[in-house]
């Protein structure tokens, strides 16, 4: 499976049955032929300007069929998708268009209504292409390419499939190059969740439900995985509980992928368990899942919650629970993010000395995998973790969420987990803010549970009973909703701005 050729597979599956339905949004279907037409139209436009293999194509990544067709066209043509965010401020998006050495920019027709985007494309001299929301094949010219052939040829990153934005939970989003080979290895790593039969181009029955944003790795990976396997996909442009219920009710999927936040939203909304009667498992990744939340979701909806762990740097998941492991080990290994995938090596090292620690002991996690840009090199993560003798992984926190309070180290994530245990707290986050005397101090923001009252003194007392004095937040702030990234993680950077 590691010799998978992503462009060839995409072209093959798009051609199997052009008239069959492929992608649904808002109740409207487009066909595999529509997606293929969008891919061809984009490829023709790029060839007309002499774009070489690996040419950098900026795509404003909305969960819309037109954009999906454009992404498939970039990948099927062996170009490089440079992900751009439609949620970014107008000037930030314009700056990316000017500064990222692109040959073209593809965006939904709604995005081209922004004068700053059009002006940026013209000033950068790049090809500007508009795709309508529901018609992938109707690619229209917005700005012509004014780049000379030498510049077009130079703006290429051969072998890179996606220049992906990270979710930006602890700081500004970073860009990570994900190669075609890395994606192939990642899809191969996911194969042990499936039957393991050799791949062949065919269409499968049933409809997969994708509710994560394709702007980030988890959403794009799940979309591509399903399309490569010939599964029709029904998607949401933005996650809502009502939208999820509509898709699950309409298409009765056996598997769902949800974030911890979306799982909590489903529980808080009191969704009828009958909605999930046909769902066998919920895959949960992108953010830490508290075991209590997972068990509660399992109890209410009678599904298995299969946690996964990965990162943009690894082009997807490197560990996770299979149904077999869940059935055998879920009670014995609570809180684990699952077993390390076959072909992935991990080691845990003491953060201070750098020396490897024995199984079961906590330390900084390193990963070596064919999914990373350099498959022979150990890659350091910012995660504190432990791995047991059976290969199960626990992620205990992050090294980059540490607040230094007067010389004492405070893990913001660990403090937030303590606050989440308070009965009046639905969700919580902690950040470090500047302090003249101590350098930094922890400040907590909480979402109050339905029907509960906000009691900062009570929260402080709760924290003092469970934390050392220097870990206790100096201030508690109630928020109707914590600021979140498109993948529903709490945005630490935005929270700092709101609390400053």
pLDDT tier for residue 167 given thresholds of 50, 70 and 90: low
Is it the case that residue 179 has pLDDT exceeding 60? yes
Distance, in Å, from the CA atom of 172 to the CA atom of 284, rounded to the nearest integer, reads 24
453 and 362 part of one domain: no
384 and 444 part of one domain: no
Our CA angle for 256, 301, 269, nearest 5°, is 85
Residue 196 domain flag: no
Residue 370 domain flag: yes
Distance, in Å, from the CA atom of 474 to the CA atom of 470, rounded to the nearest integer, reads 9
In the DSSP assignment, the letter for residue 47 is H
The pLDDT, as a whole number, for residue 371 is 79
Q: What does the block give as tokens for 2?
A: 């590691």
CATH number of the domain that 449 lies in?
A: 3.30.300.30
Q: Which of 163, 183, 203 is the last residue of a domain?
A: 183
Residue 343 domain flag: yes
245 and 391 part of one domain: yes
Residue 95 domain flag: yes
Please tell me the total count of domains within the chain.
3
Q: What is the pLDDT of residues 422-455, one digit of tens each?
A: 999 999 999 999 988 888 999 999 999 988 999 9
Q: What is the pLDDT of residues 62-114, one digit of tens each?
A: 999 999 999 999 999 999 999 999 888 888 899 999 999 999 999 999 999 99
Instruction: Kindly report which listed range (272-281, 308-317, 326-335, 443-452) carries the lowest average pLDDT score.
Output: 308-317
262 and 386 part of one domain: yes
Place of tokens 């308070």: 422
Q: What is the pLDDT of residues 189-206, one digit of tens each?
A: 666 555 556 678 899 999
326 and 455 part of one domain: no
pLDDT tier for residue 171 given thresholds of 50, 70 and 90: low
Region 361-368: what's the mean pLDDT? 90
The pLDDT, as a whole number, for residue 148 is 96
Percent of the chain scoring above 70 in pLDDT: 96
Give the helix ranges, DSSP H, for 112-259: 115-124, 149-154, 180-190, 217-228, 241-251
Q: Residue by residue, what is the 3-state secondary structure of 10-79?
A: HHHHHCCCCCCEEEEECCEEEEHHHHHHHHHHHHHHHHHCCCCCCEEEEEECCCCHHHHHHHHHHHHCCC
Instruction: Kindly report which listed range (170-179, 237-246, 469-478) carries the lowest average pLDDT score.
Output: 170-179
The pLDDT, as a whole number, for residue 400 is 75
pLDDT tier for residue 3 given thresholds of 50, 70 and 90: low
CATH number of the domain that 372 lies in?
A: 3.40.50.12780
392 and 350 part of one domain: yes
- Residues of the domain holding 172: 6-183
Region 125-133: what's the mean pLDDT? 97
H or E element, residue 29: strand 28-31
pLDDT tier for residue 2 given thresholds of 50, 70 and 90: very low
Is it the case that residue 169 has pLDDT exceeding 60? no
Q: Which of 399, 417, 449 is the last residue of a domain?
A: 399
56 and 157 part of one domain: yes
The pLDDT, as a whole number, for residue 195 is 53
438 and 391 part of one domain: no
Residue 204 domain flag: no
Residue 262 domain flag: yes
Residue 213 domain flag: no
Cβ pair 483, 495 in contact under 8 A: yes
420 and 322 part of one domain: no
The pLDDT, as a whole number, for residue 413 is 87
293 and 392 part of one domain: yes
Average pLDDT, the chain: 90
The pLDDT, as a whole number, for residue 1 is 39
Region 373-395: what's the mean pLDDT? 88
243 and 172 part of one domain: no
The pLDDT, as a whole number, for residue 457 is 95
CATH number of the domain that 14 lies in?
A: 3.40.50.980
376 and 451 part of one domain: no
Q: Which of 380, 399, 418 is the last residue of a domain?
A: 399
Residue 232 domain flag: no
Nearest residue to 139 (alpha-carbon basis) of 205, 217, 44, 48:
44
């Amino acid at each position: 499976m590691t010799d998978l050729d992503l462009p060839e597979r995409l072209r093959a599956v798009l051609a199997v049955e052009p008239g069959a339905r492929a992608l649904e949004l808002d109740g409207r279907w487009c066909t595999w032929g529509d997606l293929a037409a969008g891919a061809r139209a984009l490829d023709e436009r790029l060839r007309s300007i002499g774009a070489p293999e690996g040419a950098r194509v900026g795509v404003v990544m909305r969960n819309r069929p037109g954009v999906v067709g454009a992404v498939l066209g970039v990948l099927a043509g062996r170009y490089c998708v440079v992900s751009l965010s439609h949620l970014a401020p107008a000037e930030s998006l314009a700056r990316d268009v000017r500064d990222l050495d692109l040959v073209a920019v593809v965006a939904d027709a709604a995005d081209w209504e922004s004068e700053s985007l059009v002006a940026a494309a013209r000033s950068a001299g790049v090809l500007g292409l508009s795709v309508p929301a529901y018609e992938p094949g109707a690619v229209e010219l917005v700005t012509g390419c004014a780049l000379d052939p030498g510049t077009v040829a130079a703006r290429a990153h051969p072998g890179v499939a996606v220049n992906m934005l990270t979710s930006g939970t602890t700081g500004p989003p970073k860009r990570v190059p994900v190669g075609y080979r890395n994606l192939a290895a990642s899809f191969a790593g996911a194969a042990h969740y499936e039957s393991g039969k050799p791949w062949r181009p065919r269409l499968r029955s049933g409809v997969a439900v994708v509710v994560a944003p394709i702007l980030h790795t988890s959403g794009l990976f799940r979309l591509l995985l399903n399309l490569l396997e010939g599964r029709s996909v029904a998607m949401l442009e933005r996650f809502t509980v009502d939208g999820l219920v509509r898709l699950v009710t309409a298409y009765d999927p056996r598997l769902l992928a949800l974030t911890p936040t979306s799982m909590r939203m489903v529980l808080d909304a009191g969704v009828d368990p009958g909605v999930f009667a046909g769902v066998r498992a919920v895959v949960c990744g992108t953010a830490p899942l508290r075991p209590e939340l997972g068990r509660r979701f399992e109890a209410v909806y009678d599904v298995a919650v299969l946690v996964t762990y990965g990162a943009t740097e690894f082009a997807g998941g490197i560990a996770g629970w299979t149904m077999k492991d869940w059935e055998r080990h879920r009670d014995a290994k609570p809180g684990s993010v699952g077993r390390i995938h076959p072909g992935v090596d991990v080691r845990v090292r003491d953060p201070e000395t750098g020396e490897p620690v024995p199984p079961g002991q906590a330390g900084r996690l390193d990963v070596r995998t064919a999914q990373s840009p350099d498959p022979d090199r150990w890659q350091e993560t910012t995660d504190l973790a432990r791995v047991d003798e059976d290969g199960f992984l626990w992620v205990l926190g992050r090294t980059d969420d540490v607040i230094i309070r007067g010389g004492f180290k405070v893990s913001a994530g660990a403090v937030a987990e303590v606050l989440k245990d308070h009965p009046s707290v639905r969700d919580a986050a902690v950040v470090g803010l500047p302090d003249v005397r101590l350098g930094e101090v922890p400040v907590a923001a909480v979402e109050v549970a339905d029907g509960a009252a906000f009691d900062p003194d009570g929260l402080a007392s709760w924290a003092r009973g469970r934390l050392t004095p220097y870990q206790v937040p100096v201030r508690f702030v109630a928020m109707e909703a914590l600021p979140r990234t498109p993948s529903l993680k709490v945005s630490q950077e935005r929270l700092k701005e709101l609390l400053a």
